[in-house]
Amino acid sequence: MSGLFLLSTQLYSVCMESDWHFTPVSVVDKTDRVVSGMQSSRTTVALQSFKKLALGAFALGSSLFAASGALAQSTQEYVVVLKSPQVIQEALGLPQTNLGTVLQATLGQIGITQSAVTRQFGNVIFGFSAQMTEATAKRLQAHGLVDVVEKSISFKVTGVQNNAPWNLDRIDQSALPLNSTYSYQQEGAGVHIYILDSGLRASHSDFAGRVGNGFDAMASSGGSGGLLGGALGGGLLGGGGLPLGVGFGGLQIGMNTNSIVQTKADPSTLDPSTNPSDCNGHGTHVAGNAAGSRFGVAKGATLHAVRVVNCNGVGTSTSVLAGLDWVVANGVKPAVVNMSLGGSASNVVDRAVRNAWQSGVLVVAASGNETRNACNSSPGREPLTINVSASNRSDQLASYSNFGTCVDLIAPGDGIVSASHQNDNGTATKSGTSMASPHVAGAAAKLLSAGVPMNQIEAALIEQSSKGRISNPNGTPNRLLFSN
């Protein structure tokens, strides 16, 4: 058996080297590709016969080897970005149809079963996430219908320190000392801030009357598990309009069967499926920084909870993509997304943020708390985000804050008092770039409310920032948030 397997492996490697290299290729039968325009038909037939023999021997050898345990490979979650629906329709000869049909046809073409799929995406990216082996991921990367295959990575929220509140006092004046007041001309009324985080205690008094519908990406999958199930059984993401009429159904559990915006903070009026609760506390605190009536920058903005991390503050690129996908499909504009979370570099998450921005959704992100170059973390490193580092009350870059040229603004983030998830009037003190980011999200909401176009918000925030105030910028643009 070992000799047969060795022979089949050697023959198969010849085919791999000649035709099946791991780069995007067109959708053709690769075993029939002519290697030279000068080949005779006899040479071509001989080559084809050789390849069929090699593949047959490989299949036989593989089946024998499987008995010894070769199939017991571990699986991991990968995100797969497909070519555009138009490219796939043309390649597969599909008629003009919806995204759900295109994706289902593609899954069949690339050999992925529906049971392996964990999420499907149709807004910020076109593709899916699935459990698969590394070998399968490499095979997909070589497929002509696939653009990018990337392992799903971990995203998490940041740390906590106890200290005194001071942040709002700092951002309405250019220089120290503090004067114990926060003066503001706009409240962000009419703007929607989507908090991609751990959920939200919607009944907290700091948000009374200003909580809209949301989405829980951490909820278990249910229903049919397929796109077409959503279109047939209640869908279009619970009423949100997706391009070409795709409905994600059971894969997007969290939305109800309509898209009614909840506008009251009375717990009896809030549907937990559209207002994910907060079992961690991070999301409620962040929301209070952005738009709380006592602790927030934009005191008139509407808040939406998009839960993308669990009770321990940990999620994955898949859950983050699901949250962004929902916002693009269902978000009410003008809209700001705050992402007080981060992970290692992810080209797919960066692409999703880029696509969200291009759809008209402003994205603000925390630079991270690893005391490292912010250019190494997603989503903040994406140029279309407003990437925020943290300062302390002495106008120093916080000791934990990431830094560098990928940072756009610095904002108060150390010892910040805001809303607690534990009761409707409680407070908590936290520190981190997670606390700095929502200050900028709130300031952006105020500018949007004043009529500044979305694509000019970042430039406006940079222009009005207090320059040169941070004593230890460590290569970070020395721009401290100013908002009144």
**Among all residues, which ones are annotated catalytic?**
197, 282, 434
CA distance 73 to 149: 18
C-alpha distances in angstroms, 254 versus 16, 101, 275? 44, 23, 8
Residue that the structure tokens 């936290």 belong to: 430
- Kind plus residue range of the DSSP H or E element containing 354: helix 347-358
Nearest Cα to 320, choosing from 379, 387, 376?
379
Nearest Cα to 219, choosing from 261, 251, 262, 267?
251
Phi, psi for residue 260 in degrees, rounded to 5: -65, 135
CA distance 108 to 209: 47
Phi, psi for residue 211 in degrees, rounded to 5: -115, 125
Number of Cβ atoms within 10 Å of the Cβ of 233: 14
Beta carbons of 357 and 378 less than 8 angstroms apart: no
Q: DSSP letters along 69-95, please?
A: IIT----EEEEEEEPPHHHHHHHHTPP
Count how many residues are written for the chain: 484
